[in-house]
Structure 1
Amino acid sequence: MYLEQLSLTDFRSYAQVDLSLEPGVTVLVGSNGIGKTNLMEAIGYLATLSSHRVSTDAPLLRFGTERAMIRAKLVRGEQSTVLELEINGGRANRARINRSNPVRARDILGICQTVLFAPEDLALVKGDPSNRRRFLDELLVSLVPRHAATRGDYDRVLKQRNALLKSGRNGKFTAGHEATLDVWDQHMARAGAELLHARLELVELLQPHLKNAYAQLTDGSKEAGTVYRSTLQGVLDDDGEASAGGPSGAPASLEELRRLSVEELTERYIQAFAASRRKELERGISLVGPHRDELELVLGQAPAKGYASHGETWSMCLSLRLASYYVMLDDARTGGSAPILILDDVFAELDVQRRRKLAAIVSGAEQVLVTAAVEDDIPAELAGRRVKVIPGGIDEPDKR
C-alpha cells in the first residue's frame, strides 16, 4: 500500500497544501519549524486517529479555525481508496470513504496503515508506562480495527467506575454505591479481559521481531526483549502500576496468563476487583486493569529504562517500531496491507552507523517517507525522490 495524494486544509500551519507521492523513497527537505512534521503527523493521524506529538486535537487546527481536513488517496494493488477526515474543534470528528456518506472517524481505522519513527519515540523507553501501553494499543487497533471499540468501551467504563470510587471515599460508601460498583465491575472485567487477551497475543508476535530488529541495528552483544506485567499478577508499585512478582495462587508469568481465555480472565478480574476494593476506595481510583499494566523493555539482563545508554535507548526505540512493521508485514501476507514507513527527523538523532543500518533495513519497503532539515543526514541507501518544503507549502519536487 502507498499514499498517492495528500491534501490538508487548515491543518496545523497549512491553510491549504497538496502533496503528490509515489512508491519508494521520498525525502522531504526543509528548515526546522517549516512544517515537514505537520505533513507526517497528518498521515499518522489518518492511520491511528491520534497524534504522536499532542494528546488532544485542538493543536491540530490552524489557529483561528474550527475544523481541519485531511484528504488522502491510497493505492493497494489495483484498488484505490479516497479517505476524508474532518477534525472538529467542538464536536465529534467525521470521515468519508470514497466520498460516501459521513461515518464515524473510527470506521476508517485499518485502511491507512503506517509505522512512524520520530524523536518522541524516546518516551517509549524513558517515559512512563502509559507510553508503552499506547504503543501496544495503537498497533493492536491497526491490526484489528474492532479493538478500537474494545478500548473505547474499557475507557468509558473505567471513567464511570473511577467517578463512583471517588464519590465513595472517606467512609461515604453506601449500599447503593456497592451495588452500582458491582455492576461496573462486571462491565470493566469483560472489557479489560478482551483488551488484555489481545495485548498478550500481540506481545507474543512482537517478541521475536524485537529481538531480531535490535540485532540488526547493533553489534548483537545484547538481546532485546519484553516482559508484560499485569495487575492480575497481584503486585502494584507505589504509583499503582504493575510490577514484577505475584502472590501465591495468582498467575506469576506471562505464559500462565496467555493460557487463560477471555472468560477466565474476566473472572480473574472480578476476583481482583473484590480483593482490591478497600484500597481502591481509599484512593478513589481503579488500581486493577489493563490501564495499570506495564510492558517492560529489557536489554540483556537489565531493564532498558534507567540502564540503557543513549545509543542503546535509540536502538531499542527503533527496534520497537521495526518490530511493529514486521508484525504488520506478517499480517499483510494474510490479507492485510503493508504499512507506509515514516521516518520523521530521525536520522539527525543517530550516529552514522545506525543511520546506515536503519536505512538499509527500511529501503525495501513499498513506500518510505523521510523528513530532514539537512539532506546530508540522509544515507545513500535511501536515494530517491526529493521534495522541498517551503513556508506554507511544497516546492516542485526534484526527481533524482
Structure 2
Amino acid sequence: MYVRGLELVDFRSYARVVVELGPGPCVLVGPNGVGKTNLVEALAYVATLESHRVATDAPLVRFGTARAVIRCAVVHEERELLIELSIEPGKANRARLGRSPVTRTRDILGALRLVLFAPEDLSLIRGDPSERRRYLDELLVARQPRFAGVRSDYDRVLKQRNALLRSAYLARKTGGSRGGDLSTLDVWDAHLARHGAQLVRARLDLVAGLAPHVAKAYSAVSASRSDARISYAPSFGLQDDLEQALLAALSESRPSEIERGVTLVGPHRDELTLTLGEMPAKGYASHGESWSYALALRLAAYDLLRDDGIEPVLILDDVFAELDAGRRDRLAALVGEASQVVVTCAVEDDVPAGLRGARFLVGGGEVQRV
C-alpha cells in the first residue's frame, strides 16, 4: 500500500496544495514551521480520524475558513482508491470513498493503513496512561475497524454513567436528602460491562501479539541488551468471563464511586505497562532509551499490521534529528524496504542515505518535487 497523491484545501496553513507521491522513500525537506508536519498530520487523520497533535478538529481548519478538505489517493494491489474527508468544526464531518458518500465517517477506517512516528510519541513512555491506551486502541481499530464502534459505544456509556454519578455527588454536597437518583445505575453498569469487556479482551489479545515485536524492535533500534517488555494491567481482576468480572468490580467500587462522583474501574482506567530490564521505562529510561522505546512501539505496530497481510504506509516525522548516528542507521536498515516511507526533516543530511528517495521541498505554502 502507498499514497499516490494528497490534496489539501484550507487544512492548517495550506489554502490549497497538491502533492504527488509514490512508493519507496519520500523525503519532505524544509525549515521548521513551514508545514511539513501538517502534510503528514493530514495523512494520519485519514487513517485514524484523529489528530496526533490536537484533541479537537477546529485547529485543523485554516483560520478564517469554515471547513477543511483532505483528498488522498491510495494504491493497494494496483487498485487506486480516492478518499475524501470534509472537516467542519461544530458539525458532523463528511466522507467519500471512491467518490461515493459513506453513511458514517468511520466507514473509511481501514482504507488507509498507516503508522506514524512523531516527536509527540515520547509521551508514550513519559506521559499519562491515557497516551498508552490511545496507542492500543488506534492500533486495534487499524487492524479491526469495527472496534471504532465498540470504543464509541463504551465512551458514550461511560459519559452517561459519569454524569449520573456526578449529579448524585453534587446533590449530596448541596444538601439533597437522598443524594440524587441512582435508580438507573444498574442499567448503565450492564452496558458498561458489556462494551468494556469487548474492549479489554481485544486489548489483551493485541498486547499478546504485540509484545514479541516490541522486544525485537527495541533490540534492533537500540543495540541494547536490556529487554523491552509490555504487559496489560487492568483496573479490575481478570477472569474468563470478563463481563461478569467488570460487573463485580463496578459493584464493589460503587460506594467509592458515589463518594467521588466518577467511574473508577473499566478499560478507561487500565494501563499498558512498559518495562526496560527490571525497571519501569517511565522515570528510569534515559532520553535515548525513551526514543528507542517509542520507536519500538511504532515499529512493532507496523510489523503487526504487515503480518495481517497489508503493508502500511510508514511516516517518520522529524525523527532523525533526535537520534545519534548509530540509531539513525539501524532505523534506516529496518524500514528501508517498506512499500512507502514518508520522512520529514529540516536538514536532509540527517536522513541516512538508504532513505533518500524522492525529494520534496516544502515552503511558502507549496510543495515541489526536485
Instruction: Please give the TM-score of this superposition, normalised by the length of structure 1.
Output: 0.90
Q: In structure 2, what is the equivalent of residue 244 of structure 1?
A: none
**Cα separation, 2, equivalents of 1:173 and 1:99:** 58
Instruction: Tell me the CA shift for residue 89 of structure 1.
Output: 1.3
Kindly report which structure 2 residues correspond to 1:1-40, keeping only aligned pairs within 5 A, or say none. 1-40=1-40
For 2:306, what is the secondary structure of its paired residue?
helix
Do 2:253 and 2:264's aligned partners in 1 also have CA atoms closer than 8 Å? yes
Q: Using the alignment, how far apart are the partners of 1:273 and 1:109 within structure 2?
A: 32
Task: Provide the residue aligned with 2:197 in structure 1.
Answer: 193
How many corresponding residue pairs?
A: 366
Which secondary structure state, in structure 1, belongs to the residue aligned with residue 115 of structure 2? strand
What corresponds to 2:359 in structure 1? 386
The amino acid of 2:248's aligned partner reads Q
State yes or no: 1:207 paired with 2:229. no
Q: Deviations over 1:175-194 (max 9, x none)?
A: 98332000000000000000
Task: State the SS of the aligned residue for 2:183.
Answer: helix
Is 2:56 aligned against 1:56?
yes
What letter is aligned with 2:147? H
Q: Check the 8 A contact 1:23/1:366 in 2, yes or no.
A: yes
Alignment match, 1:177? 181
Q: Is the CA contact 1:29–1:389 (under 8 Å) kept in the aligned structure 2?
A: yes
Indicate the SS of the match to 1:166: helix
Matched ranges for 1:171-320 at <5 A = 172=176, 174=178, 177-233=181-237, 251=238, 257=239, 260=240, 264-320=241-297
Q: Is the 8 A contact 2:168 2:182 kept in 1?
A: no
Residue identity in the other structure for 1:67:
R
Q: Which residue of 2 aligns with 1:240?
A: none
Q: Where does residue 91 of structure 1 map in the other structure?
A: 91
Give the structure 2 partner of residue 145 of structure 1: 145
Deviations 1:255-278 (A, max 9, x none): xx5xx2xxx111111111110000
Contact preservation (8 Å) 1:347, 1:377: yes
Superposed CA RMSD: 1.3
Q: Identity of counterpart residues, as a percentage?
A: 57
Amino acid at match of 1:223: D
* Structure 1 equivalent of residue 157 of structure 2: 157
**Structure 1 position 371, deviation (Å):** 0.4
Following the alignment from structure 2 to structure 1, what is the Cα–Cα distance between the partners of residues 164 and 65? 37
8 Å contact from structure 1 (residues 348, 372) kept in 2: yes
C-alpha deviation, 1:391, in angstroms:
1.2
> What is the identity, as a one-letter code, of the residue corresponding to 2:289?
E
Separation in 1 of the partners of 2:357 and 2:223? 28
Q: Distance in 2 between matches of 1:36 and 1:206?
A: 30
Q: Of 359, 362, 369, which residue of structure 1 is paired with 2:332?
A: 359
- Residue 342 of structure 1 aligns to a residue in which SS? strand
Secondary structure at 1:326's aligned position in 2? helix
| Separation of aligned partners in 1, 2:231 and 2:25 | 35
Alignment match, 2:74: 74
3-state DSSP of counterpart to 1:189: helix
Q: Deviations over 1:251-298 (max 9, x none)?
A: 4xxxxx5xx2xxx11111111111000000111000000000000100
Residues of 1 paired with 2:257 and 2:205: CA distance? 29
Per the alignment, in what secondary structure is the counterpart of residue 56 of structure 2?
Answer: coil
SS in 1 for 2:184: helix
Give the equivalent residue in structure 2 for 1:238.
Answer: none
Give 1:174 shift: 4.9
Give runs of ≥4 in structure 1 deviating > 4 Å. Answer: 171-176
Q: Does 1:168 align with 2:200?
A: no
In structure 2, the gaps of 5 or more residues are: none
Larger deviation: 219-228 or 282-291? 219-228
After TM superposition, the score normalised by the length of structure 2 is 0.97
- In structure 2, the residue matched to 1:323 is 300
Per-residue deviation, residues 309-352 of structure 1 (Å, max 9, x unmatched) = 111000000000000001001111xxxx2110000001111111
Deviations along 1:355-390, one digit per CA (max 9) or x if unpaired, are 111111011100000000011110112121111112
Q: Is the 8 A contact 1:96 1:103 kept in 2?
A: no
1:102 Cα deviation after fit: 4.2
Matches of 1:345 and 1:157 in 2, distance apart?
38
Q: Say whether the 8 Å CA contact 2:164–2:182 is kept in structure 1.
A: no
Cα distance in structure 2, aligned partners of 1:60 and 1:360: 34
| Whole-angstrom CA distance in 2 between matches of 1:199 and 1:177 | 34
- Counterparts of 2:103 and 2:81, CA distance in 1: 15
CA contact (8 A) 1:341 1:368 kept: yes
Cα distance in 1, alignment partners of residues 180 and 60 from structure 2? 43
Q: Is the 8 A contact 2:167 2:180 kept in 1?
A: no
Secondary structure at the counterpart of residue 243 of structure 2: helix
